[in-house]
Each structure stands twice: as C-alpha cells, then as structure tokens.
Amino acid sequence: MKMNEIINNISPAVTFLTAEEIPQLTGTEKQIAWAEKIRTNYGKTYLHVAIKKMSDGRPINAERTQKYVKGTAEEIAKFVLEEATALAAGYDDLLETKIDEEMATQKDMVARYNRYKALVTDKNSAAWWIENRDADFSAYLDGKKIF
C-alpha cells in the first residue's frame, strides 16, 4: 500500500477540547456543583478509555496514542506504515494486513475520542450527569450504546 492510500484511509487528527469548549451546566447551584464533579471524573476516566486502546481492545502505550491522534495526515500515515512494517518484520506477506490493522486502530481511536468529546459538549444538563453518574460509558465510546 502506498503512502497516499494510507493518508486517504485514516481519520484526521483529533482536536482536543479546551476549557472554553466545555459548556456551563444548567440546573440549581447544588446540582451544578455535584454534576461538575461527576463530569470531571468522567473526563479523567473515559479520556483514557477513548484513546488508549487498539481496535481489538488491547491497551496502547502513550507514545503510540499521541502519534495516532496528533499531527498531520502525512505524519500519522508515516507512523502507521512504520508500525505495520515493524510488526510484519520478516513476513512480507503480512504487511498489508498489518497496515489495515494499524489504520483500523487509528480510526477507532479517533472515533472514540470524538464520541467522548460529543458527550462532554452536548450534555449540559446537571440533572443528566447526576442521573447517569453510575453509567459505564465504555460501550458508548465504542459506538455500541447511545445516551
């Protein structure tokens, strides 16, 4: 697979949330204070889940995470090709398969982060965060559940 094909088949790098992009919660003062803690805890817990696992669910190290979600399309594609080449070392017939697996990991990681970001920015009701405080958002991040 040529570099241009990889570039055309990966997801664009993510744009990480800034504090300004996170909406103010609505509700009573008490609800907002409680919901802010819940949402902050969600952010700490699920950001890790969103971008630190491979498409098959195995954990991924921080260095690989950064290279999959930041940078230009060319930089990400170069890293995908380097990783696939290293994984297929000595087995030329596996290179295409490993490239496909690495592209899938990169796409899944970006999609999970974008779902994480959408939840944080779309849910501005303190009551919603309080009602869902015990929810396991992993299935949502994997695209298997809707909130």
d(CA 138, CA 57): 11
Question: In the predicted model, is pLDDT for residue 5 greater than 70?
Answer: yes
Read off the pLDDT of each residue in 12-39 and give the average, rounded to a whole number.
92
* pLDDT tens, position by position, 52-89: 777 677 777 777 777 888 888 899 999 899 989 998 88
Position 8 pLDDT exceeds 70: yes
DSSP state of 20: G
The answer to whether the CB of 86 falls within 8 A of the CB of 76 is no
- Single-letter code of the amino acid located at 74: E
How far is the CA of 45 from the CAs of 10, 103, 139, in angstroms?
A: 26, 25, 14
Task: For the chain, give the mean pLDDT.
Answer: 87
100-122 residue pLDDT tens: 988 988 888 888 888 889 999 99
Nearest C-alpha neighbor of 104 from the set 135, 139, 58: 58
Please name the amino acid found at residue 52: K
